[in-house]
């Protein structure tokens, strides 16, 4: 697999997209009374997607730097995935704490559930790119896995 910066950026963009999508959907289902007020769902999804995108953008830049430095250091694929996985979860928790400290209307909502949603969104985003991250490792550079 070509490990240019654009390829790394593309992997991070896909992780970010799936994480924001998962966070928006699960957060909307948790925070809204989905079936009794369906007209409020679209507004909540829009606000959730905007907040998730804005707050998680710095974390995705850091994740891009982590991937870039690991690939430059010739990190093996499985080790690269482990580093990205743990970093993604840690960054997700940090972003959530910053989000939680700035959003006052949600103070009555249970913090633990929203934190779990944020971590699950990060895990979903990273796991969707498992194959791409694995193939970016130095051990699969000479023998790329063929797509089937």
The pLDDT value recorded for residue 89 is: 97
The pLDDT value recorded for residue 112 is: 86
Using alpha carbons, list the distances in angstroms from residue 16 to 91, 104, 108, 135: 12, 25, 28, 19
Contact 67, 136 (CB under 8 A): yes
Q: Cβ of 132: how many Cβ atoms within 10 Å?
A: 16
The pLDDT value recorded for residue 138 is: 83
Global pTM? 0.86
In the chain, where the domains are located: 5-140
The tens place of each residue's pLDDT in the chain, 148 residues long, gives 456 899 999 999 999 999 999 999 999 888 887 677 777 788 889 999 999 999 999 999 999 999 999 999 999 999 999 999 999 999 999 999 999 888 866 666 678 889 999 999 999 999 999 999 999 988 865 555 555 4
Using CA of residue 32, residue 34, residue 40, residue 44, what is the dihedral sign?
positive
The pLDDT value recorded for residue 106 is: 62
Residue 48 makes CB contacts below 8 A (sequence gap 6+) with: 23, 24, 27, 28, 31
Contact 113, 30 (CB under 8 A): yes
Q: CA 69 to CA 5: how far, in whole Å?
A: 11
């Amino acid at each position: 697999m070509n490990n240019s910066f654009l390829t790394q950026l593309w992997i991070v963009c896909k992780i970010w997209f799936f994480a924001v999508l998962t966070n928006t959907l699960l957060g909307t289902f948790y925070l809204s009374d989905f079936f009794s007020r369906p007209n409020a769902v679209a507004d909540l999804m829009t606000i959730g997607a905007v907040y998730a995108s804005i707050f998680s953008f710095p974390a995705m830049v850091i994740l891009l730097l982590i991937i870039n430095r690991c690939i430059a250091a010739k990190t093996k694929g499985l080790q690269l995935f482990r580093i990205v996985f743990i970093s993604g979860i840690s960054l997700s928790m940090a972003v959530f704490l910053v989000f939680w400290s700035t959003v006052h209307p949600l103070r009555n909502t249970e913090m633990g559930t929203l934190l779990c949603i944020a971590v699950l969104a990060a895990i979903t985003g990273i796991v969707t790119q498992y194959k791409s991250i694995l193939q970016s490792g130095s051990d699969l550079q000479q023998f790329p896995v063929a797509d089937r």
